[in-house]
Amino acid sequence: MFKQFLIRFQLVIISIVLLLTFGMMMAIVMRYNKRWDLTHERMYSLSDETLQLLNQMRDSKIEIYAFYPANDPNRDELELFLKEAKLHQGDMNYRFYDAERRPQLADYWKVSENYTVIIRFKDRQERVILPDEEMFATTLLKLIQPREFPVCFVSGHGEAQINKKDEHGISSLAESLQEGHYPAREIVMGVDSLDSCQVIAVPGPQQEWGHDEFKLLKHAFEDGKSVLFLIDPMDRNAGKGFYRFAEDVGVALREDVIVDKMSRMVGGDFLVPFINQYHPEHPVTFNFQKPVFLPVARSISLAKDIPENLEVERIAFSGSNSWSETSLELLEQGEASYETETDYPGPLSVAAAIEQKGKDDLQKTGRMVIIGDSDFVTNQYLGVAGNRNFILRAVQWLAKDGRVVYLKEHFPRFQPLPISQEQRRVILSSTMAGGPVFFLIFGALTIVWRRRRK
């Protein structure tokens, strides 16, 4: 009777101990979500740059609101990243919402597209679309170091307007710039002062400029201002002033329209070139992998004579299946075809970055980006593929906004283990004979031990 009681008592004690152990393990797992990255390249660990930014933000709470569709694999990937970040920052709260299921909340945060992530720190907030670690770290840096960089859009010559919300306006671009602390306003050359402008943007002029207007813009560039020039294809012999202005900064504007067969394969149009080749080292396109679509774009090239004080780089290119169509009359009739005598084969450069050389003060160093299209930043096309990211990167470089984090990509390194013939024989013999011998000896020892117990 006592023996049965003792057995039952032991079972109860063991059950309680196991239950407490399980509870403690669950509490540790739920409270301390720790992972170990055993890869040689540290592929699944946060970068040192991200960790430093998180440590600088430990004194205040970080709130993150992510609007992702339910059961989306991108959501799981982001949540895994945020869990790791929370381990290092501590006071970080993040929540996921489905914009379609929570429309009122989406309206409150002014979320117009999926994969929008809003990050709040102290009294400031930033938003990013489908962020990776590099974008996340850059956003944290902007929250730590808040600044504003005014962008002035030239008007009065048929340029796209920032207050128009139709498909031809650029109000969405102005909103995106405002969210990134690049407040946008319109100016008239020769009337409004350029002193408060960090970047002067010319979004697709449709009329010729006067000599004084070009002179003002050139002087602003030479004095250290930045210029964003979006220049569409024009009628033959039109816009000569723009051609001369571009030549003066080392860029040749071609009188052509790019035709790209690849665009039709990805659901586009022949006159909407598919841009997916970029300068690998320039800050505007460094690590940039998203495609960009430019509706009815011209090609650009380097001028024959580039001023010695300027550094000119072509930064974006169309595909090898594209060509530069110079017969604009035939193109309007839909009869254009590649002619080796007059047309240029792809890849074709569509964007160039210019920077003054030899100046010690970055704020007095003029910068310029010239792109052979302006339609890609309008409300109709800004949200297509990587159009928004591309133009925002260009503005960020032009604004000399140093709050950018570039992370080195981690790739698994293939390291084969060389094995000599002798080593192969040793491995084969130990595998074929070692296992049976081990179990034979273990079995013999077990039999001897049991016989001795008897």
What ranges do the domains of the chain cover?
48-143, 148-398
- Rounded mean pLDDT of 221-229? 94
265-283 per-position pLDDT tens digit: 555 678 889 899 999 999 9
* Element spanning 184, H or E: strand 184-187
Residue with tokens 């130990």: 430
| 205 has pLDDT over 90 | yes
User: What does the pLDDT read at residue 293?
Assistant: 93
Sign of the alpha-carbon dihedral angle for 207, 294, 275, 178: positive
User: What does the pLDDT read at residue 13?
Assistant: 77
- Rounded mean pLDDT of 25-48? 63
The overall average pLDDT reported for the chain is 85
The rounded distance, in Å, linking the Cα atoms of 98 and 355 is: 44
- Rounded mean pLDDT of 99-118? 88
User: What does the pLDDT read at residue 112?
Assistant: 77
337-389 per-position pLDDT tens digit: 777 777 888 899 999 999 999 888 888 899 999 999 999 999 999 988 889 98
To the question of domain 48-143 being in CATH 3.40.30.10, the answer is yes
Is the bond leading into 69 cis (omega within 30 degrees of zero)? no
- Rounded mean pLDDT of 225-229? 96
- Whole-structure pTM value: 0.74
The rounded distance, in Å, linking the Cα atoms of 256 and 297 is: 8
User: What does the pLDDT read at residue 243?
Assistant: 94
Q: Report which of residues 151 and 358 the model is more confident about.
A: 151
The rounded distance, in Å, linking the Cα atoms of 96 and 98 is: 7
- Structure-token pair, residue 335: 């009869």
56-70, 151-165, 294-308, 440-454: lowest mean pLDDT where? 440-454
* Contact call for residues 347 and 311 (beta carbons, < 8 A): no
The rounded distance, in Å, linking the Cα atoms of 392 and 377 is: 10
Considering the domain 148-398 in this protein, what is its CATH number?
Answer: 3.40.50.880
Provide the β-strand partners of residue 353. Answer: 313, 369
- Rounded mean pLDDT of 307-314? 94
| 421 has pLDDT over 60 | yes
